[in-house]
Amino acid sequence: MILVFYLLSGVALRSNMSRKTSSRRNDKFSLPKSIKVGYANYLMQMFAPKIQKNDAGDELQQPMGETNTQGHVVKINSEQNFDEVANTMIHELLHAMCYIFRIDFKNELEEEKYVAAFSNAITTVFKDNPDLIDWIKETQHAKSE
């Protein structure tokens, strides 16, 4: 779990995203260019969703994010607010960690279930304890000195 905290120390809910909750969409903010997960550097990208419809003409739900584990790319839907982007980033990085560290599940549905639960839990802990990431960074830097 420390790996997750350390990965996110300079990412979500920190310098690139306001700690204040925003319900606004399309606010301008930037993602880190890349995030190292194990041996791989994952390129971080925002994408604008395209409206798709099923055969009945109903709009399909747009993905919040996508992870290309073999291509080492994480894409985040730009139509989300800050809290949703932070949660989606954590969610997609957990998928990347599962791939890189060979955390296997019975099937994709099982992986999605656990990744969704852990990303929601981690996002909630960070949001409810905004000084936690700073504390983790301080302890990691103190440990290396």
Which pLDDT band holds residue 121 (cuts at 50, 70, 90)? very high
For the segment 23-74, what is each residue's pLDDT rounded down to a tens digit? Answer: 445 456 789 999 999 999 999 999 998 888 888 888 888 899 999 999 999 9
Q: Is 4 helix (H, G, I), strand (E, B) or coil?
A: helix
For the segment 77-87, what is each residue's pLDDT rounded down to a tens digit? Answer: 999 999 999 99
Give me the residue spans of the domains in the chain: 2-144
Say whether pLDDT at 18 is over 70. no
Q: Which residue has the higher pLDDT, 32 or 5?
A: 32
Q: Is 128 helix (H, G, I), strand (E, B) or coil?
A: helix
Please report the beta strands in the chain, taking only residues with DSSP state E, as ranges in sequence order: 34-37, 40-47, 65-68, 73-77
Q: Which residue has the higher pLDDT, 61 or 110?
A: 110
Q: What are phi and psi of 112, to 5 degrees?
A: -60, -40
- β-strand 40-47 against 73-77: which pairing, if any? parallel
The rounded mean pLDDT for the chain is 84
| Radius of gyration, CA atoms only, the chain | 16
Percent of the chain predicted with pLDDT > 70: 79
Percent of the chain predicted with pLDDT > 90: 66
- Model pTM above 0.75: yes
